Structures are given as C-alpha cells and as structure tokens.
Structure 1
C-alpha cells in the first residue's frame, strides 16, 4: 500500500500535566473492541517503543497535520501517552483515544480516537486514526474503524454523528471509511496546506442509524 490508512485530526498539542500513573509492568488495559485482526485498548507505557517505530515514518506522517511529529521520537511517544491518559469525553471518565493492537500479543500497531465538540455540535464526534506501514493492506484498519465506531455509538448515547476528514490523495483512508459505512458528503477545497502543498479535504459522515453492526 502506498499511502497510510489515516484521517486527520490526530493528537492535539500536549498540555502541562503529570504523566500517567501506569507503569510499564502494570497489566495491560482490557480491550474495548475485539475483532479477528485487532483489538483496541487504552494506551500503556509498554507501547512507547513500538509506537515510536511505527510513527517514525514519512509515509505515515504524509497525510497528518503538523501536530503529528515527523521525525517521531521516543519523547514524542511519551508525551502522547501522557496526553492520551487525560483526554476524556466531557462530563465522563471515558477516554477518547486508544491503541490499535495485535490480537493475542496486544502489540501496538497504531492509534484511533475521537475529538469531541461543544455547543450545538456536541452530538458530533470527529474520528481520527493511523496505523504503521507494516500493517497496511491487511484489513486491520477497516476492522478497527468498524469496531470503534460501534463502540462510540454504544458508549455515548448522545452522539448522533461521526465525522472524518481525509486529505486528497489518501485513497487508502477513503476505502477504510467507505467500508466502515461512512458517506462522502463534500470537499473543502484546498482546506489544508502542508509543506507548501495545498490539499482538498474530503468530508465523510456516519449517522447512528447507518452504523454497520456486523
């Protein structure tokens, strides 16, 4: 596969906060989603090395915003791990960003999560995800997207819509979203500029009643 299965947005800027209380030898968090090709669980300190190796790839970073560091260092991975432990849906203690992992070994492959909105758009969450190049073309991201969107709708009754934006040229991510039931809704022309290149941003949406349940 020539492009990463990825939609922006991804990790927001890291605030000043204490690191996660988890230690590397603590038990792994239980999965929130289990599929034949992957599990999705909360991040764990033992993910740092694999996270850095998977993320430190220009092909993975190509369709990400500048917030996704490139090169991606161990310190970037540590900052994200600490930040992810603090990102929770408003008014809840439920995390919004998770690790995509191998079934059986629980080895880190990539990340998936949502960004929440406020005011009249509080019923819409924005989906973002990425996965390392070694996992491209295996259907892992499609299973993760399907399973995670089901979990979001089941976990947050007030959410009526999920939305995702894809940079023009990222056909792999378009395929993932369509297979997960998302509908193309339009294009924001030249809405993103990265390293001097202007990209259209294709907008995809998934309503609660459209969520794939099998």
Structure 2
C-alpha cells in the first residue's frame, strides 16, 4: 500500500544526539488499529524490513529506494526527525506503528506548498506488506488528516495522488474521505512503464474534526 508522494527531498543527516536508548515519543494519534508518532532511532531495523519490498516500492517515486537498506532507513530517519512545516516547529513525517507493541509498520507525512498554494498540503504514505488488507492504512490516513487540519489552521485542502494502477491506494484515499478529482494521463513513468496519476483531495469542511 503506497502513495507516490511519500518522499519530498534528499534527507539531511540525522541529529547526532538521537540514539536508540532515548525514550520513544508518545503517539500524536491513537486508533484501534495503529498509533502514529514521531520517528525514533530504534525504528531503523523495522523500517528497513517493512520497506525492503519490490511490491511496496512499485508505486513510489525513485526516491524510495529498492532494495531498501539500513543506510536508506537511517537517511530517511534523519530527514523525518528534522523536516518541519515552514514557519513552525512542527515535524511533518510520522511513523505508523502497531498499537500494542509499538513496532514500526510504515510512514505518513505531508509535503508543504508555497506561494499561492501554501494552504494546500500533499499527503503521502506507505505501509509494509504484512499490514496490507487490514484497514490499518485507511484508519491511519483518516486520523492523520484530522490531525493535520487541527494542527495547521491555515490548511484548507489536503491532496493525495496515486498511480492509476495502484487500486489499493486509491481505495484507501476514497475510504478515508478523499474525493477523486481527475486523472493526469500518462503523467508518470517508472522503469519504462507509463502510468496515469489519479488526483484526490479532502477539504477542511469535508473532514469532521469533532470526533
């Protein structure tokens, strides 16, 4: 289960002070099927195992490495633990974890925009194959969208884009309340295969924040 918007830029080195023995951050979101929290150095091994799958990488951008090594996980961790929404101290990339044992399952985050599009964020996500088909990603996306609207009062629109062939990801977006807006025909090429890109959005007024 993946969305092509997961990665946004080459990640910087991680903070030297962050070590695996540091306390794991508390969740920002708790649902029956998952918790969402900040990344932590202890996530690296589980992240690498979940991400190192051709099926997971298939519909991601080239920035999502395949094969996915421990070094790739370390680089992403450095990005996730440093990248903040412009003008804030709020990190935008989070870990999706098992609600019982807090094990890393996948990631979710937003890409911010500038200028006349600064009120729009683009959401990206992925989750390991072992977690597919359980409703985890839909629940995570629905809850995370609410968190974004609550946390960033200026955001009026969330976008989610996915390869046309990625039916599972399109289903996640629809089930999380996102509305299909159209198709960018033959807008992406990966490993020589041409794909349409499906465009979805969720507006603030379409996302109930009181539950």
Match of 2:203 in 1: 207
Equivalent position to 2:150, from 151, 154, 166? 154
Match of 2:141 in 1: 145
Change in Cα spacing, 1:68 to 1:15, as seen in structure 2 (3 Å) is: closer
Match of 1:51 in 2: 47
Contact 1:181 1:212 in 2 (8 A): no
Structure 2 portions without partners, runs of 5+ = none
Match of 2:159 in 1: 163
Match of 1:9 in 2: 5
Match of 1:185 in 2: 181
Contact 1:20 1:81 in 2 (8 A): no
Moved more, 20-29 or 31-40: 20-29
How many residues were matched structurally? 210
TM-score, length-normalised on structure 1? Answer: 0.95
State the 1:212 CA deviation: 4.2
Structure 1 portions without partners, runs of 5+ = none
Aligned CA-pair RMSD: 1.1
> Which 4+ residue blocks in structure 1 deviate beyond 6 angstroms?
none
State the 1:13 CA deviation: 3.4
Moved more, 132-141 or 14-23: 14-23
Change in Cα spacing, 1:49 to 1:181, as seen in structure 2 (3 Å) is: same
Whether 1:88 aligns to 2:72 is: no
- Cα distance between partner residues in 2 of 1:198 and 1:98: 30
State the 1:83 CA deviation: 0.9
- Cα distance between partner residues in 2 of 1:53 and 1:27: 22
Query: 5 Å matches for 1:90-129?
Result: 90-129=86-125
Deviations, residues 45-67 of structure 1 (Å, cap 9, x unaligned): 00000000000000000000100
Match of 1:67 in 2: 63
- Cα distance between partner residues in 2 of 1:121 and 1:127: 14
TM-score, length-normalised on structure 2? Answer: 0.96
